[in-house]
Amino acid sequence: MLGARYKGKKTIVLEEIPKPVPKEREVLVKVKYAGICGSDLEAYKTGLYPAHVVLGHEIMGYVEEMGPAVKKWKKGDRVTIFPTLHCGGKCWYCQQGLTNLCVYEDAIGIGANGGFAEYVLVSDHHLVALPDSIPDKHGTVFDQIATSLLALREASFIPGSSVGILGMGTIGQFSLQVLKLAGARTIVVVEKNPFRLEIAKKFEPDLAMEKLIFPKIKRANKKGVAGLDYIFECSGVPVLVNAAIDVVRKGGTIVQIGLWDKPLEINLLKYVMNQIRIQGVYGYVREDFEFAVELVAKKLIDPDPIVTKIVPLQDIVEEGFEAAIDPETKDIKILVEP
Ligand SMILES: [Zn+2]
Ligand SMILES: [Zn+2]
């Protein structure tokens, strides 16, 4: 079968890979779509992940073949894949249900072969049935919605709050929708790419800006102050990470979702004197993922404007990764179709 293997920084190579054979409780899934994630792009730019793996952890497909011990699934079932690999209870974190923080945490499409290939092999407990109301091309987005759900929980988000979202990539776009559902009173979004900003406007934030303009934020904030209660920093761009400190209110919370792999210079004095809380968030747990499926199935979250392009596996590098990292990109979520 054809698969796209990650070889390190800026190198993804299409190769002929042996088609896996499912054993025991394994299931072979025929990949219909696999989404290119922000973390895949970060790995492509920096060489972050272990080399030689087939990337792609946002997967929708059809059950093709099952190992002999698989009972619940049959050929042709429409599925999405909960990609997190964890020890399932050996470590303290998993015992507390914090599987995203598992000592042995890894993921299908990061440490194990993922969805940028014709088939992917997974243990049956990773499969999640896709309800009929969700079309195939919306079957890959739960990873990002689940990340937003965990972010709100870890931030102890309170309805009626004012929020800024910095960076309107996929996570920013879904965070906007999740925050509306969760009762944010004022939402300000910041994104310098005009195409992505226009998409965000479809979800009616109170204010959408190409760059931070403080007087505008003060006018938009129904609480009448310039500082916002929460900042969801989804860009990982150093200048915006620092801007988050300026735009959060005293005693407010910065939720850091965006990635940046180098040390950052920050103004610690402002953190201390303004009593700012910074909350890192990483991944999600199974319940978040299943809830994300439910939200899309019930049409409470709309992935349609966010999934902007589908590219054949053969064009994954130029039309996929390279197109996505172009600052002038006219894409948000790109799906790969093997
Ligand atoms: Zn992802
Ligand atoms: Zn564990």
Residue 298 lies in a domain: no
- Compute CA 267 distance to the chain's CA centroid, rounded to the nearest angstrom: 28
pLDDT confidence of residue 102: 96
Query: DSSP character for 131?
Result: P
pLDDT confidence of residue 224: 83
Q: Reduce the DSSP state of residue 315 to 3 states and report it.
A: helix
229 CA to centre of ligand 2 in angstroms? 33
Q: Is the same domain home to 87 and 158?
A: no
Which backbone phi and psi does 84 adopt, to 5 degrees? Answer: -65, 130
Q: Reduce the DSSP state of residue 30 to 3 states and report it.
A: strand
Q: Is the same domain home to 133 and 157?
A: no
Residue 291 lies in a domain: no
Per-residue model confidence as pLDDT tens digits over 206-240 = 999 999 998 899 999 988 888 999 999 999 888 88
Q: Do residues 120 and 61 lie in contact, with contact meaning Cβ atoms separated by under 8 Å? A: yes
203 CA to centre of ligand 2 in angstroms? 37
Query: In which element (H, E) is residue 14 found?
Result: strand 11-16
Residue 292 lies in a domain: no
Q: Residue 56 is part of which domain span?
A: 2-141+303-337
Cα distance between residue 157 and residue 139, in whole Å: 27
Give the ligand whose atoms come closest to the C-alpha of residue 284: 1
Neighbours of 330 (CB within 10 A): 14
Q: Is the same domain home to 204 and 237?
A: yes
Q: Is the same domain home to 39 and 161?
A: no
107 CA to centre of ligand 2 in angstroms? 13
Q: Where does residue 250 rank: exposed (0-12), middle (13-18), buried (19+ CB within 10 A)? A: exposed
Whole-prediction pTM:
0.95
Give the ligand whose atoms come closest to the C-alpha of residue 55: 1
Query: DSSP character for 129?
Result: E
Q: Is the same domain home to 49 and 172?
A: no
**Regions of the chain short of the pLDDT cut 70:** none
pLDDT confidence of residue 73: 98
CATH of the domain at 11: 3.90.180.10
Q: Is the same domain home to 273 and 155?
A: yes
Q: Is the same domain home to 202 and 114?
A: no
Q: Is the same domain home to 204 and 74?
A: no
DSSP codes, 172-209:
HHHHHHHHHHTT-SEEEEE-S-HHHHHHHHTT--SEEE
327 CA to centre of ligand 2 in angstroms? 38
Q: Do residues 63 and 88 lie in contact, with contact meaning Cβ atoms separated by under 8 Å? A: no
59 CA to centre of ligand 1 in angstroms? 10
Q: Do residues 257 and 171 lie in contact, with contact meaning Cβ atoms separated by under 8 Å? A: yes
Q: Do residues 338 and 313 lie in contact, with contact meaning Cβ atoms separated by under 8 Å? A: yes
Neighbours of 212 (CB within 10 A): 17
35 CA to centre of ligand 1 in angstroms? 8
218 CA to centre of ligand 1 in angstroms? 33
Q: Is the same domain home to 92 and 125?
A: yes
CATH of the domain at 182: 3.40.50.720
pLDDT confidence of residue 118: 98
Q: Do residues 177 and 203 lie in contact, with contact meaning Cβ atoms separated by under 8 Å? A: yes
Q: Is the same domain home to 122 and 156?
A: no
Q: How many domains are contained in the chain?
A: 2
Give the ligand whose atoms come closest to the C-alpha of residue 81: 1
DSSP codes, 61-80:
EEEEEE-TT--S--TT-EEE
Q: Is the same domain home to 159 and 270?
A: yes
**DSSP H helical segments within the chain, as ranges?**
38-46, 92-95, 142-154, 170-181, 194-201, 214-220, 238-247, 268-273, 286-297, 323-325
58 CA to centre of ligand 1 in angstroms? 6
Residue carrying the six token digits 């940046």: 260
Give the ligand whose atoms come closest to the C-alpha of residue 94: 2
Residue 19 lies in a domain: yes
Cα distance between residue 299 and residue 103, in whole Å: 35
Residue 233 lies in a domain: yes
285 CA to centre of ligand 2 in angstroms? 12
Residue 197 lies in a domain: yes
Residue 164 lies in a domain: yes
Q: Is the same domain home to 309 and 273?
A: no
Residue 290 lies in a domain: no
